[in-house]
Amino acid sequence: MLFRWDWLQPVLTAPIVPTLGPVHPDVLTVDIFEDTLRVAASGDFLPYDKDRRWGGEKDETVLRDDVVHQPDHTLIPTLNRRGRGTVKVFAYGHCGSVVDEAGELAAKLAAVHDAVNGRVVRPLGPKTDSPRGTRIQLQDFTTRACPEPGGPVRPVTVWPTAVQETFAPFATAMAADGLAFLHAQMQAGRCGPILTAAVDARILGAIGPMEVRYDAIGQPQLLPQYFAVLPEARGRGLGRALWRAAMHWGQSHGAAYQILQTEVGGPSDSLCQAEGLASLGFSHTTPA
């Protein structure tokens, strides 16, 4: 075992695990950190890795030989070979110098591994003032009902063929939000249902895929979705209807919770806050 829990636990200001992303606070144990080290050499997916649903190989792995683990801070570097390569250093610690130390390590390892990008990922607590980056939010399905919202929301495959055919141009228009990737996965039969909002026989918004899988301690979680509404269609309540339909789907299919990441101050962030989700902290990424 590399990690000492009595060193690591006090500096975990937000439930973020390298290569896995945000997790439920109950999952945040020394075991899950050790699991990421165990598969670093093989490049395999952990059984509960949310990215496993896309198939292929794991892009990001922990550079276990370069981990810095001290009583007051821990630095965990990862390497992602996608594109021209990215090294991230996850900086856990309360001391002011931890970000600078992480930046130096990221720059050094980027050079060693011929990666173009070096990044520092700084988990921040839920009470952080003026946060930037992404907010980690928890939807707990065990504490309240998520009723069917009604409205013009259906799985894309339920709409008439003419409406279904408008999903492709919608996905292309919202490629920056991941919808083109989602469309490709849908065409290949690699993902669960996609909920869509259509008005006047045209798809204007979507959320998906809808899938429930077990986490590291055996709890069923609704996996994160891609979520987008065309800019010209915003302000009509379609985003809220899609969101509530997705939450209804997750609860009715046995999910205990969902963990989401939203850009601080963005439309999805405001929606989740208005819907009463619990903020678990933040993740702030900066260049090395």
pLDDT in tens, 243-265: 999 999 999 999 999 999 999 99
* Encoded amino acid at 135, one letter: R
Encode pLDDT of 182-220 as tens digits: 999 999 988 999 999 999 999 999 999 999 999 999 999
Encode pLDDT of 140-149 as tens digits: 999 999 999 9
Residue 110 shares a structural domain with residue 34: yes
Encode pLDDT of 173-190 as tens digits: 999 999 999 999 999 988
Name residue, tokens 């930037």. Answer: 132
266 within some domain:
no
- Closest listed residue to residue 72, CA positions, set 118, 127, 12, 119: 12
What is the C-alpha to C-alpha distance for residues 198 and 163, in angstroms, rounded to an integer? 8
The answer on pLDDT for 42 being more than 90 is no
pLDDT confidence tier of residue 1, bands split at 50, 70 and 90 = low
What is the C-alpha to C-alpha distance for residues 132 and 121, in angstroms, rounded to an integer? 12
- Closest listed residue to residue 228, CA positions, set 205, 259, 195, 203: 205
Minimum mean pLDDT range among 11-15, 130-134, 207-211, 246-250: 130-134
What is the C-alpha to C-alpha distance for residues 52 and 55, in angstroms, rounded to an integer? 6
201 within some domain:
yes
Q: Per-residue b/e over 188-198, b at no fewer than 16 CB within 10 Å?
A: eeebbbbbbbb
Boundary residue ending a domain (98, 128, 158): 128
What is the C-alpha to C-alpha distance for residues 279 and 281, in angstroms, rounded to an integer? 6
Boundary residue ending a domain (128, 161, 193): 128
The CATH number of the domain holding residue 74 is 3.40.630
Domain count, the chain: 2
203 within some domain:
yes
Encode pLDDT of 89-129 as tens digits: 999 999 889 999 999 999 999 999 999 999 999 999 999 98
Q: Are 264 and 117 in contact (CB under 8 A)?
A: no
**Rounded to an integer, what is the distance from CA 172 to the centroid of its chain?**
22
The predicted pLDDT at position 124 comes to 96
Sign of the Cα torsion 18, 285, 211, 222 reads: positive
Boundary residue ending a domain (67, 101, 128): 128
At residue 227, the 3 state secondary structure works out as strand
Q: Which domain holds residue 190?
A: 143-255
Residues 6+ apart with CB under 8 A from 124: 13, 14, 131, 133, 281, 282, 283, 284
Residues 6+ apart with CB under 8 A from 132: 264, 282, 284
